[in-house]
Structure 1
Amino acid sequence: MPDREEAGRHTTEELLTGGNATAGVVRVGDTVRRPVGPWTPAVHALLAHLHGVGFRAAPRPLGIDEQGREVLDFVPGRAVDESRYGLLDPVDRLARVARLIREFHDAVAGFTPPPDARWQVLMRDDTPEAGEIVAHHDLAPWNLVTDDATDRWTLIDWDTAAPGSRLWDLAYAAHGFLPLAADPAFRRTDAAERLRAFADAYGLDEDQRRRLVPLLSRRTRAMHDFLRERAGRGVQPWTRLWQEGHGDTWRANTEYIEEREQLWLRALLDG
């Protein structure tokens, strides 16, 4: 945990923007300060485990500051937002993402959560393997920070980490990183080939490939249903996102994915 003397040397706060769900995130020196939740101790235990076993593509937890905010080391670089999606166009970079996720899943497999762990569960993993790992649950370009100077790639925003499964995590990741999008502005004519490259780089076996295909649309539909339910109860920031049309996007993407299930299956099994 940063001591008070160290904190006093870095009092200038720089507001960090770009996220949809978490407000009040600031940079102080070489650290990031974020609001805490009941899940914060468990998330910090998870991040400490990942660093302890050599997985460096996640922020390092540094405790709680004098204002009650969580403290993480600052990760240099920029998130892969819409203006930078082209960074992941080359198949070798898409494969790098898949390998990074595999490294995380392998690293977290040995993690034993604290007995009193509390997680922020936004939607439950409904696969038979649910609970096999503590999954990230929001693996997407906007939570990947890349630094050109060091060639470091880091996965951020671990607040929704919770028990889940590898395939549930991968289904969501495929949606964002390939991407699997209905919008002509983002739709890929080579989406099937990219899905194959993603699965190959992660190292999915034949059975896992078969089980992944229906999860691609189920995971996407779960996001639509989650936003609809929270908006119906007036819960923020989900109500705002629903009003901005995010629900329509998730529904359209679900239909796009469902209509092409045989295409995905052929790509994964036949090459």
Structure 2
Amino acid sequence: MPAAPVPSLPEPDETPLTGGNVSDGVARVGDTVRRPAGPWTPAVHALLRHLRSVGFDAAPRPLGIDDRGREILTFAPGRTLWPDRMDLLDPPERLARVARLVRDYHDAAAGFTPPPDAAWQYLVPVPDDAPTVIGHLDIAPWNLVVDESTDSWVLIDWDNARPTTRLWDLAYACHGFVRLTPVPAFGRPDRQTADRLRLFADAYGLDERERRDLVPLLGGRVRGMHDFLAAQAALGVEPWATHWREGHGDAWRTDAEYIEARADLWLRALLG
């Protein structure tokens, strides 16, 4: 059942939040964030309420729908890691903390029973495997808000949440946080990257079979983003068509090729 609208009350001035690639209509109002709602919003809010109920607090708390039809979420103070705070993850223990956060989320979500009328947003690609968890589907440095003053780490932007597998969700997180890319400004030497991938897998707690299964997903998940943008651009769907023209598709393809060409290196590191 959709959340009931919150009565209109006097509000402070709104401050548009412009970070990220898809932020039209997102604003801060006091200690809340207002975002455009969609058919998926009731299911996402049910998920977020469940996470809070089982002690996972690294996600916004849903507060309903305002009188303009926007979802209301608690505001997460701090800034995202991307693009200029990635050095916060240089210490191995910080990178391991991200992996444990992902594992904590998956464990918390494992006990969630979606509403019978749940309508998820089927935007990003997922494998055909039987889903095992409601994944975030966009666990990345641009969606992790860190407040160093309080040591608070919060995952935001849950609109893409939907049934998937733990490994598919984790593969995307590996790409962004381990930095599986050849781009000099963001990547690392291959051996160091492989070591950090091993650290990430260790901190998450993957067993040997899961490590083997993860390797082909690392490139597949990233290539899926290229294919998604290509398909949306061909249809002229915004904002994806603009992202394609700006070269986002090329970036995803370059990273996918880099990851796939080093599959043996990743596997040796994960099993070594």
- With structure 2 as the length reference, what TM-score do the two structures score? 0.96
- The aligned residue for residue 237 of structure 2 is 235
Deviations 1:80-115 (A, max 9, x none): 111111111111100000000000000000001001
For structure 1, list consecutive stretches of 5 or more residues without a partner in the other structure. Answer: none
What is the percent sequence identity of the aligned residues? 63
Q: Could you tell me how far apart the structure 1 residues matched to 2:120 and 2:243 are? A: 23
User: Is 131-140 or 20-29 further displaced after alignment?
Assistant: 20-29
How many aligned residue pairs are there?
Answer: 267
Note the C-alpha offset of 1:12: 1.1
Cα deviation, residue 11, structure 1: 3.1
From the superposition, tell whether residues 127 and 208 of structure 1 become closer, same or farther in structure 2 (CA, over 3 Å): farther
1:69 alignment partner in structure 2: 70
The answer to which of 83-92 and 192-201 deviates more is 83-92
4+ aligned runs moved over 3 Å, structure 1:
1-5
Deviation of 1:3 after TM superposition, in Å, equals 4.9
Q: Do the aligned residues in 1 keep the contact of 2:6 with 2:65 (CA within 8 Å)?
A: no
Q: Which residue of 2 aligns with 1:21?
A: 22
3-state SS of 1:83 partner: coil
Q: Does 1:4 align with 2:7?
A: yes
Unaligned runs of 5+ in 2: none
2-structure distance, mates of 1:124, 1:219:
8
Match of 1:171 in 2: 171
Deviations 1:118-167, CA, capped at 9 Å, x for gaps: 01111332153x41100000000000000011101000000000000100
* Equivalent residues in 2 for 1:31-50, closer than 5 Å: 31-50=32-51
| AA in 2 matched with 1:188 | R
Letter in 2 for 1:136: H
Matched letter for residue 20 of structure 2: G
8 Å Cα contact 2:222-2:252 kept in structure 1: yes
For 1:203 and 1:212, the matched residues in 2 are separated by 12
Alignment of 1:114-133 (within 5 A): 114-126=115-127, 128=129, 130-133=130-133
Q: What are the superposed Cα offsets for residues 225-262 of structure 1, whole Å, 9 maximum, x if unpaired? A: 00000000000010011011000001110110011000
Task: Tell me the distance in 1 between the aligned counterparts of 2:90 and 2:26.
Answer: 30
Distance 2:240 2:118 in 1: 25
Tell me the SS of whatever aligns to 1:175: helix
Q: CA RMSD in A?
A: 1.2
Paired residues for 1:1-271 under 5 Å? 3-4=6-7, 7-8=9-10, 10-126=11-127, 128=129, 130-189=130-189, 190-270=192-272
> In 1, are the aligned partners of 2:5 and 2:67 still within 8 Å (CA)?
no
Contact 2:43/2:120 (<8 A) preserved: yes
Give a deviation string over 1:15-42, Cα, whole Å, max 9, x none.
1111212311111111110000110011
Q: Is residue 127–residue 165 contact of structure 1 (8 Å, CA) maintained in 2?
A: no
* Aligned residues of 1:2 and 1:62 also touching (Cα < 8 A): no
Separation in structure 2 between the aligned mates of residue 187 and residue 218 of structure 1, nearest angstrom: 19
